Amino acid sequence: MPIQFAPIYTRLAELGEPYALPADWSWVGVDPDCRQLPEAVAAFRALEKEFPAEDLLTSGVARQADGKLALSPDLMADEPGFIVLHNDAGDAFDVATAGGCLYGGVPALRMHLDRATKQALQASDCPWMYDLMFGCFSMADTVLLRSLGLAAAPAAMLDSLTLAGLQRLLWLVGGRATKDIEKVQVGLRVDELGDPATAPNVDPHNKPPLFSLRLLAGSLARCTAEVPEALLPVARGLAAAKVYLGFEWRTIGVWHPTEEDLATIQYRRWLRSAEAVRRFLLPCPTRYPLEAFLAPGPPKLQKPAKPSPAEAYLQHLDRLAPPSRRNPTDPEPERGRYDELVDQLFVRPLVERAMQAKDLEDRGLFIHLATLARLYHHIVPAVLASERRSCEELRWNNGMPLPPEPFEQWKGLANEMLKVIRHRAAIRKNTWGGR
């Protein structure tokens, strides 16, 4: 696979910085090929000095704007970020953005040539008959999935595929042509000579899929089921190809996360376990064929829900109890908001019950429990942080006991609660016995 513009793409990556995932996913180690340009203008000026204008234009890094050379709009989009694609030899052969590949067009038709994507597709623990690739409608989702060790591609330009592009996609996903338009090999680019999808010795009617494509109807990075507006034209276009060209998209479907899916992802994210998140996403639950997703009509766009007080409590607790490799940022505001939520969720209801109680013993019981609840949740972040650090260390030292110090405080509070309960039970027993 001869690579003409590898030095340009490599230099572009060097001028950028690692892609920054959303704060809730900041604990995930970002794939090193995922970059962003904090100073796009300065980066382009450096590229202009090092490479000929013709090469910058042909590579897709630059465009002509008002007679002048300018950085590609795809590198300065509203959602910044790009992925440098490498062949098996480690040479950069293209750059994928949210708007498409700079040199090769449609990312979903090209990402399988990338070394890291190949490794993800060939994962031995994939439960599907065919390896899974996610089609994402945001760069944050693409980077997140890739960083979790899953194959992902921006879904850009899938709504405007030419006939050759549709035929190539049909070839990649192992679909079937049922009418007069055959599933044939499309022309090779000079840097696609090693592409197994276009191997001349494979019968096009019997070639198995290289991957199954799952379009993401939601956002994992934002943990929402809000349907991206760009998904509907893609789903309609592929469905139209089935109707008017007879293309059977057997392995293309839509994953629309349910509330249960999102809750599971949020919990595994809270545990900071990339492997736990990955193993949940591999089976790609609640998936639909294109027709089932579109009928009886496109799903209504949903506004992202405001987190409930309980969800907000877990978020602030998570930030107050980081693992050892990450320190909390500016913990005072987090602690203040955490304490407010503890009062709202655990303390105030007990105080209100105390004020409503007519029996003085009942009132004293609820006041005592409210005090213990505040103390209990005050030490929860320290206990959780200690547990997380211990779990990290246990990866390297199996059988090491958890440190006892934070748990002694917790044990003491638990004993206090038991005393209150036993005291109240004894009072009730004497009262009933007197009757």
> Do 285 and 331 share a domain, yes or no?
no
CA-to-CA distance for 74 and 62, rounded, in angstroms? 10
CA-to-CA distance for 304 and 298, rounded, in angstroms? 18
User: 19-51 as b/e, with b when 16 or more CB fall inside 10 Å?
Assistant: bbbeebbebbebbebbbbbeebeebbeebeeeb
CA-to-CA distance for 329 and 323, rounded, in angstroms? 13
248 is a domain residue: yes
Number of separate domains in the chain: 2
304 is a domain residue: no
The 3-class SS string of 179-244 reads: CCCCCCCCCCCCCCCCCHHHCCCCCCCCCCCCCEEEEECCECCCCECCCCCCHHHHHHHHHHHHHH
Beta strands at 62-65 and 68-71: parallel, antiparallel or unpaired: antiparallel
**pLDDT value for 328:** 46
> Do 288 and 362 share a domain, yes or no?
no
> Do 108 and 255 share a domain, yes or no?
yes
173 is a domain residue: yes
Name every residue whose Cβ is closer than 8 Å to that of residue 91 and which is 6 or more positions away in sequence: 1, 3, 6
CA-to-CA distance for 84 and 178, rounded, in angstroms? 37
Of 262, 294, 326, the residue at which a domain comes to its end is 294
CB-based contact 242:221 (threshold 8 Å): no
DSSP state of 108: G
Closest to 171 in 3D by CA, of 197, 139, 195, 145: 197
CB-based contact 83:36 (threshold 8 Å): no
SS3 99: coil
CA-to-CA distance for 354 and 370, rounded, in angstroms? 9
Domain that holds residue 417: 309-434
Of 271, 294, 317, the residue at which a domain comes to its end is 294
Q: For residue 62, give Cα distances in angstroms to 3, 18, 34, 48, 67.
A: 18, 21, 19, 9, 12
CA-to-CA distance for 281 and 276, rounded, in angstroms? 9
68 is a domain residue: yes
Give me the residue label for tokens 């379009």.
215
Distance, C-alpha 237 to centroid of its chain: 25
> Do 79 and 114 share a domain, yes or no?
yes
Of 294, 320, 343, the residue at which a domain comes to its end is 294
1 is a domain residue: no
> Do 159 and 238 share a domain, yes or no?
yes
| AA identity, residue 64 | Q
CA-to-CA distance for 138 and 155, rounded, in angstroms? 8
DSSP state of 343: I
> Do 285 and 386 share a domain, yes or no?
no
> Do 202 and 346 share a domain, yes or no?
no
391 is a domain residue: yes
CA-to-CA distance for 350 and 366, rounded, in angstroms? 6
CB-CB neighbours of 66 under 10 Å: 5
CB-based contact 136:153 (threshold 8 Å): yes
SS3 154: strand
> Do 394 and 351 share a domain, yes or no?
yes
303 is a domain residue: no
> Do 263 and 348 share a domain, yes or no?
no
> Do 283 and 319 share a domain, yes or no?
no
CA-to-CA distance for 38 and 316, rounded, in angstroms? 29
> Do 123 and 272 share a domain, yes or no?
yes
Predicted structure pTM score: 0.67
User: 67-95 as b/e, with b when 16 or more CB fall inside 10 Å?
Assistant: eeeebbebbeeeebbbbbbbbeeebbbbb
CB-CB neighbours of 270 under 10 Å: 15
CA-to-CA distance for 289 and 248, rounded, in angstroms? 11
300 is a domain residue: no
pLDDT in tens, the chain (435 residues): 447 899 999 999 999 999 999 999 999 999 999 999 988 889 999 999 999 999 999 999 999 888 889 999 889 877 789 999 999 889 999 999 999 999 878 999 999 999 999 999 887 455 445 688 999 999 999 999 999 999 999 999 999 998 888 888 888 887 777 767 765 555 556 566 666 665 544 445 556 678 889 999 999 999 998 889 899 899 989 988 888 888 888 788 898 888 888 888 999 999 999 989 998 888 765 567 787 777 655 444 334 456 667 667 666 666 666 554 444 444 556 677 777 877 887 788 888 888 888 877 778 777 877 888 777 777 777 766 766 666 554 444 444 444 445 556 556 666 666 676 666 666 655 654 444
Q: DSSP string of 369-429?
A: HHHHHHHHHHHHHHHHHHHHHHHHHHTTSTTPPPPSHHHHHHHHHHHHHHHHHHHHHHHHH
> Do 335 and 277 share a domain, yes or no?
no
CA-to-CA distance for 167 and 275, rounded, in angstroms? 35
Name every residue whose Cβ is closer than 8 Å to that of residue 95 and which is 6 or more positions away in sequence: 9, 12, 60, 61, 82, 83, 84, 85, 101, 102, 103
